[in-house]
Amino acid sequence: MTLLSTDDTADGRPAPLGRAVAPSSVPLDWPPVVAALTYAFQPIVQTRSGRCHGYEALLRGFDRTPFADGDALLDAAAAAGPVVLGAVESALHAKAVTVYRTMAGWNDAKLFLNLDARLVGMPDSPWLPRDGGGRRQSGIVLELSERRAIPPGVVVEEAVERYRLGGLGIAIDDFGVGFAGLRLLFEARPDYVKLHAYFIRNIDSDARRRALVAAMVGHAHALGIQIIADGVETASEFYVCRDLGCDFVQGFLISRPRVGVGALPTSYATVTDLNARDRRQPSEAHRRLAEVIERLPPLRVTARKTELLDYFKGDSSASIAPIVDEHDRPLGLVRERDLKRFVYSRFGGELLRNRGLGDRLDDLVIKMPVCDISTPLDRVIEAFSAESAEDGIVIVEGGVYAGVLSSSALLRLVHERNLAMATDQNPLTRLPGNAAIVRHIETALADGARAHALAYLDFDNFKPFNDNFGFRQGDRAILMFSERLKAWAATAPGDAFVGHIGGDDFFLGVSGGEEEEVVTRLAELLAQFRSDAESLYDPATREAGSFVSKDRYGTVRSYPLLSVSGVVVAIAPGPHSLTPEAINATIADNKTNAKSAADKLCVIRLSGAGLW
């Protein structure tokens, strides 16, 4: 006798937990345990629009059960056997769905349910289509947590496909801290990846976390997977996650999990307010992508397959049809060339018209890279190789379909970017020039959520060195320092930008790092260069520690060996009215102080109230 029933209810949900006599090997009476638990719901919100995309159902009320948390409960059920685990999970899911659907607005957002990975591929797993099919659950997303291993021998791709046949979405939860990692990402082909809070915590001040998240976002988007940043608790974390390309956020900053919600909001003011207060809106990226994307009309996934034939028969030269769900969220595309086997085969048209074989478009849809319309153009270009974007990139705005960036348009953007870089790039060091430096300063000043260090660096007594030892040695010195500076920026305590103003003048910007660490490491860099520069002199000059040359007035005098000094303008987080002109004036006023300092650095601290 089984402990619980796992048959679907009439509307396709897992059946509620039924009373039954438990086998002697199962000491617990599970129905009262499930009955004692309740659900809280936490929103998953689109980063650019604040629109609520869905809610995750989270178990509460363990103080009324023998278990400390959900992991302990499911471990106990698993110990009793896969039938018990599947039945308990089915009952819990049924309860979550029932509660969720009592709240106003539930059908405007998806419901994310955690599925124990030990049930993937198992016959007792909830949500598997039964004989005769059942109602499609297009509003349900199953989260497969990496905290549990999928049973050995399970072919993940085949197992996940069975859930998709029921219209379910798939998400990987706790990504990066569990068992499978990239292998599960590859085999499951999920619709969403939830980055674990470990990678989000303090991401605004941790360069390594930012680098990892940026890489994961780029990889996921190239596969048509959308990213959810879990555990966002501060405005600074939100801004970084948004700017790195995360599609959705979840965390205490937006809303804590709530029990007994009467109505589900369709949008969250916290996100819209954060975006409104942020002056770093990527308007140029938004404008340029809006200009080059093709506004191909999408087809709903519920459309009949024969509508595809009409779609491609039109005067439009489109070779793809974007496919969206009932809320206009992109699911992928159908390619005209994939229909040729139907169009040109003897019975192809009949097969497309045969409702017995399924009349929806699901089985024809292929995934496509997805990108938000406000994503910085550099990130769009870097994230998608020619191969991954062969059929183009789906562009979304506010989480819904906006158009398609074709591969030819992407190549055009690449050409524009390369041309702009070549125009502004310093020919000697290949570093960004003045235009890029000004843009960086403007962006930093508009970012009030983080601290910034803007540094002007220039050589001391470079002209007499150049006059005495020649332009070739001068170029060697500049290249030596630029390579040191680039290496420093790669491991900087924050987001670093390096520019070459011209000649022996350089710029360094660091955002999100601790001022003390930035200044300390910068002083170490300047000291290291003083040591490096000794290799530019002959042994006698190195031994003397100075050289003789004429100054600009023709007077012969002694000069110390080459060094670099810098003025660091440290800007505190918070609102201010600072301008690039004010930064330039502060630097100009303190160059002499930097050159006379023992460590060759002068630090000026600015905030909304001026000096601090």
Contact between 195 and 220 (Cβ < 8 Å): no
Residues 552-584 as b/e (b if ≥16 CB within 10 A, e otherwise) read eeeeeeebebbbbbbbbbbbbbeebebebeebe
pLDDT of residue 257: 93
pLDDT of residue 282: 52
Return the structure tokens found at 469: 């030892």
| Beta strands in 49-95, from DSSP E residues, in sequence order | 52-60
When pLDDT is averaged across residues 303-319 and rounded to a whole number, the result is 75
- Locate tokens 């068992």: which residue? 179
Single pTM value for the model = 0.71
pLDDT of residue 3: 35
Q: Pick the residue with more confidence: 217 or 147? A: 217
Domains 289-416 and 429-611 share a fold: no
| CA–CA distance, 603 with 570 (Å, rounded to integer) | 7
Contact between 564 and 481 (Cβ < 8 Å): yes
Band (pLDDT 50/70/90 cuts) for residue 15 is very low
Band (pLDDT 50/70/90 cuts) for residue 310 is confident
pLDDT of residue 611: 53
Band (pLDDT 50/70/90 cuts) for residue 36 is very high
Q: What percentage of the chain carries pLDDT values higher than 90?
A: 43
CATH number, domain 429-611? 3.30.70.270
Task: Please say if the pLDDT value at position 441 is more than 80.
Answer: yes
Cα-Cα-Cα-Cα dihedral sign, residues 519, 523, 524, 525: positive
pLDDT of residue 316: 59
When pLDDT is averaged across residues 45-62 and rounded to a whole number, the result is 93
For the chain, the domains span 30-281, 289-416, 429-611
pLDDT tens column, 461-491: 999 999 899 999 999 999 999 999 999 998 8
Beta pairing, strands 546-550 & 393-397: unpaired
Element (H, E) at 248: strand 248-250
Task: Please say if the pLDDT value at position 350 is more than 90.
Answer: no
pLDDT of residue 136: 60
Band (pLDDT 50/70/90 cuts) for residue 587 is very high
Residue 405, strand partner residues: 393
Among 38-47, 111-120, 440-449, which is the least confidently predicted range? 440-449
Task: Please say if the pLDDT value at position 332 is more than 60.
Answer: yes
Q: Write the DSSP symbol of residue 597.
A: S
How many residues does this entry show for the chain? 612
**Sequence-ordered alpha helix ranges (H) in 283-400:** 283-292, 306-313, 340-343, 348-353, 377-383
pLDDT tens column, 509-544: 999 888 999 999 999 999 999 999 999 999 999 999
pLDDT of residue 342: 62
The fourth-level CATH superfamily of domain 30-281 is EAL domain (3.20.20.450)
- Locate tokens 């993937």: which residue? 120
Band (pLDDT 50/70/90 cuts) for residue 305 is confident
Return the structure tokens found at 231: 């555990």
Q: Name, in order, each residue with C-beta under 8 angstroms of 374's C-beta and a sequence gap of 6 or more.
A: 48, 281, 282, 285, 286, 397
Q: Pick the residue with more confidence: 504 or 424? A: 504
When pLDDT is averaged across residues 321-326 and rounded to a whole number, the result is 88
Band (pLDDT 50/70/90 cuts) for residue 343 is low
| CA–CA distance, 533 with 531 (Å, rounded to integer) | 5
pLDDT tens column, 256-282: 999 877 788 889 999 999 988 876 555
pLDDT of residue 413: 83
Question: Rounded to the nearest 10 degrees, what angle do helices 70-79 and 82-100 cross at?
Answer: 140
Q: For the chain, what is the mean pLDDT? A: 83
Residue 471, strand partner residues: none
pLDDT tens column, 132-174: 454 566 689 999 876 778 888 888 888 888 888 888 899 999 8
Q: What percentage of the chain carries pLDDT values higher than 70?
A: 85
Q: Name, in order, each residue with C-beta under 8 angstroms of 526's C-beta and a sequence gap of 6 or more.
A: 457, 563, 564, 565, 566, 599, 600, 601
pLDDT tens column, 171-186: 999 887 665 567 788 8
The fourth-level CATH superfamily of domain 289-416 is CBS-domain (3.10.580.10)
Band (pLDDT 50/70/90 cuts) for residue 222 is confident
Contact between 197 and 174 (Cβ < 8 Å): no
In the chain, what is the greatest distance between 2 CA atoms, to the nearest angstrom? Answer: 105
pLDDT of residue 313: 76
pLDDT of residue 583: 93
Q: Name, in order, each residue with C-beta under 8 angstroms of 233's C-beta and a sequence gap of 6 or more.
A: 201, 251, 252, 253
